[in-house]
Amino acid sequence: MKVFITGTDTVVGKTHFTAWLVRALLRAGHDAAGLKPIATGGREDALALQRAMDARLTLDEINPLHFREPAAPLIAAEAEYRTIDFPTLNAAIRDVSARFSHVAVEGVGGWRVPLGRNYEVRDWARELALPVVVVARGAVGTLNHTQLTVESIRAAGVTCAGIVVNAGAEDSPDLDLVLRRNVALLRDLLALPVLEFDRRAEAAGSLPAWLGGK
């Protein structure tokens, strides 16, 4: 199982979920790894994935492209007078991925974040040809954001494997009822598997079959 992890927005918990997924896959006996090929600002996300897999890959294997500016990759790259060579980057991702049975490739920002001129996360995921897992907030507004993201994924001819609704993206005791209703409604509206995930917890229950569980 190899998947691309995207989000309905930035800071929705992609890295926390991806790290949990890698740990859960390893506990289940799978040969698993997590990659963060593009990072802007710090490399904390890549370091979190490295810890999740007990340093089975170097930081540069996990995160081959790093830009100092904490901005969209297009802006961050242009600030350093650089562009991203996607054929080379994608070849490196495939080479590393071939060493593992289960791989989670974490994107950067949301689904439509620009990575280059006329090139977005959407185009990158389509070239990698991996099914996409969408991480979404559990709060009010996520129905709209999630449906728009899934609609764009499907319009791009990419398979959406399922949704992860992150209960820990906002800290409010009033969100529990909203979260449960959102999870149930998203299953109905999108006809996709939906995992309720709490990034404040170390575990999120058993690993579902659509994410590599048994």
2 is catalytic: no
Which phi and psi (to 5°) does residue 49 adopt?
Answer: -70, -35
Q: Are strands 32-35 and 2-7 parallel, antiparallel or unpaired?
A: unpaired
Q: Do residues 125 and 150 touch, judged by C-beta distance below 8 A?
A: no
Give the C-alpha separation, 121 to 116, whole Å: 9
Give the C-alpha separation, 120 to 113, whole Å: 5
Catalytic residue chosen out of the listed positions 2, 14, 36, 214:
36
Give the C-alpha separation, 4 to 133, whole Å: 6
- The Cα-based distances of 138 to 90, 97, 99, 157, 191 in angstroms read 32, 31, 34, 26, 18
Give the C-alpha separation, 21 to 14, whole Å: 10
When computed from its CA atoms, the radius of gyration of the chain, rounded to whole angstroms, is 16
Q: Do residues 110 and 11 touch, judged by C-beta distance below 8 A?
A: no
Q: Which residue has the tokens 């070239």?
A: 127
Give me the amino acid identity at 43.
R
Q: Is 56 helix (H, G, I), strand (E, B) or coil?
A: coil
Residues labelled catalytic = 36
